């Protein structure tokens, strides 16, 4: 955490003090120190990033990385921190952070310029993009085949905006419907109420990995968006931003990010399925940059 304290001292009035003097905590860290807890917002069906175990506990790649962040926060404030859990949807996740109901959002959230005006983001933890999930044997092989079809998206996602842009740009007359969460979007496709489900490719592979879906559905088409994922926290919190940057540097340098990736993307998940999805060259490059010492 040496990098964290160096960054922290440079962004607070404590810079005028000696480096051995205690730094006054502010924002989320002060809140965590006072309450002894951090509230994590999580998703219930974003496999393998943030979803529920058979016992109803939040698990996944993003969840594990967030737990490491909480440990780093505990080191910074000088006490062990409990985790409180808050379920959110695509529509409610940003508000949960902005309002202070949650301190970290650990799911499958795209870090883009529009959202960065409202919330803060960790370094990129995954790179995804919008694709289509269809029934095997469907005539839909690309977005160009969507004319006259019904496409379901999850409300409040970048995929919803991506499909609206596809319809506008290519003058396609497909019907776009929005469901509350990914599990509901998938259920509409499964029930035949939609011809295609458009969301991030990795989430679609998570659905296809389920035994009951392997022979029924397939992911098709080209990428229709670029979606780099990050952990959300409140914007304007300089101390927490410094800690998050430092913690991810340490996690990448130590190899923990790569270990967690292998656990959730290359081995068997608790439900008995496996995505078998090797790390992309883009993410490998981002993790190497994350591990590099800051200038």
2: confidence class by pLDDT, cuts 50, 70, 90: low
Interacting residues of 138 by C-beta distance below 8 A, sequence separation 6+: 195, 196, 220
Interacting residues of 17 by C-beta distance below 8 A, sequence separation 6+: none
Find which of 39-43, 214-218, 274-278 is predicted with most confidence, using mean pLDDT. 39-43
pLDDT of residue 75: 97
Query: What's the pLDDT tens digit per position in 103-152?
Result: 999 999 999 999 999 999 999 999 999 999 999 999 999 999 999 999 99
Rounded mean pLDDT, 156-165: 96
Interacting residues of 99 by C-beta distance below 8 A, sequence separation 6+: none
pLDDT of residue 244: 98
CA distance 292 to 295: 9
Beta-ladder partners of 239: none
CA quadruple 117, 119, 88, 264: dihedral sign: positive
pLDDT of residue 16: 33
pLDDT of residue 21: 47
Using the structure block, give the residue that is written with the tokens 């005028």.
Answer: 16
Phi and psi for 38 in degrees, rounded to 5?
A: -125, 135
pLDDT of residue 272: 86
257: confidence class by pLDDT, cuts 50, 70, 90: very high
User: Does the pLDDT value for residue 11 go beyond 80?
Assistant: no
Helix axes 281-291, 256-265, angle to 10 degrees: 150
CA distance 238 to 233: 11
pLDDT of residue 9: 43
CA distance 195 to 42: 28
| Lowest-confidence pick of 48-52, 82-86, 291-295 | 291-295
| Per-residue DSSP letter, 280 | P
| C-alpha angle 65-113-43 in degrees, rounded to nearest 5 | 35
Is cis: bond before 48, omega within 30 of 0? yes
User: Does the pLDDT value for residue 17 go beyond 70?
Assistant: no
Domains and CATH numbers, the chain: 2-127+228-291 (3.40.190.10), 130-225 (3.40.190.10)
Query: What's the pLDDT tens digit per position in 146-158?
Result: 999 999 999 999 9
Query: What's the pLDDT tens digit per position in 21-72?
Result: 457 999 999 999 999 999 999 999 999 999 999 999 999 999 999 999 999 9
- Distance of alpha carbon 88 from its chain centroid, rounded? 12
| Per-residue DSSP letter, 227 | E
Residue 23 CB: number of other CB atoms within 10 A? 17
Mean pLDDT of the chain: 92
CA distance 39 to 104: 7
Beta-ladder partners of 132: 198, 220
Tokens of 94: 């940003």
Query: What's the pLDDT tens digit per position in 221-237?
Result: 999 999 999 999 999 99
Rounded mean pLDDT, 179-189: 96
């Amino acid at each position: 955490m040496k990098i964290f304290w160096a960054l922290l001292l440079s962004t607070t009035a404590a810079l005028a003090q000696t480096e051995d003097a205690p730094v006054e905590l502010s924002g989320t860290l002060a809140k965590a120190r006072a309450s002894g807890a951090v509230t994590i917002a999580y998703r219930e069906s974003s496999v393998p990033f943030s979803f529920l175990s058979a016992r109803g506990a939040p698990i996944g790649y993003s969840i594990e990385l967030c737990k490491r962040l909480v440990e780093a926060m505990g080191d910074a404030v000088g006490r062990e921190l409990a985790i409180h859990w808050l379920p959110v949807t695509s529509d409610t996740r940003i508000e949960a952070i902005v309002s202070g109901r949650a301190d970290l959002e650990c799911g499958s959230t795209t870090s883009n310029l529009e959202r960065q005006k409202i919330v803060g983001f960790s370094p990129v933890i995954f790179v995804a993009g919008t694709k289509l999930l269809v029934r095997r044997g469907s005539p839909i092989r690309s977005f160009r085949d969507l004319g006259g079809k019904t496409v379901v998206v999850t409300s409040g996602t970048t995929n919803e905006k991506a499909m609206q842009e596809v319809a506008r740009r290519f003058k396609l007359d497909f019907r776009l419907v929005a469901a509350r969460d990914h599990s509901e979007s998938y259920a509409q496709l499964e029930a035949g109420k939609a011809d295609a489900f458009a969301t991030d490719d990795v989430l679609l592979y998570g659905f296809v990995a389920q035994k009951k879906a392997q022979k029924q559905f397939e992911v098709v088409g080209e990428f229709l968006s670029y979606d780099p994922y990050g952990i959300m926290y409140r914007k304007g919190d300089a101390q927490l931003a410094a800690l998050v940057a430092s913690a991810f540097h340490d996690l990448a340098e130590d190899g923990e990010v790569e270990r967690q990736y292998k656990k959730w993307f290359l081995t068997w998940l608790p439900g008995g399925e496996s995505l078998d999805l090797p790390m992309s060259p883009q993410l490998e490059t981002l993790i190497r940059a994350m591990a590099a010492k800051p200038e």
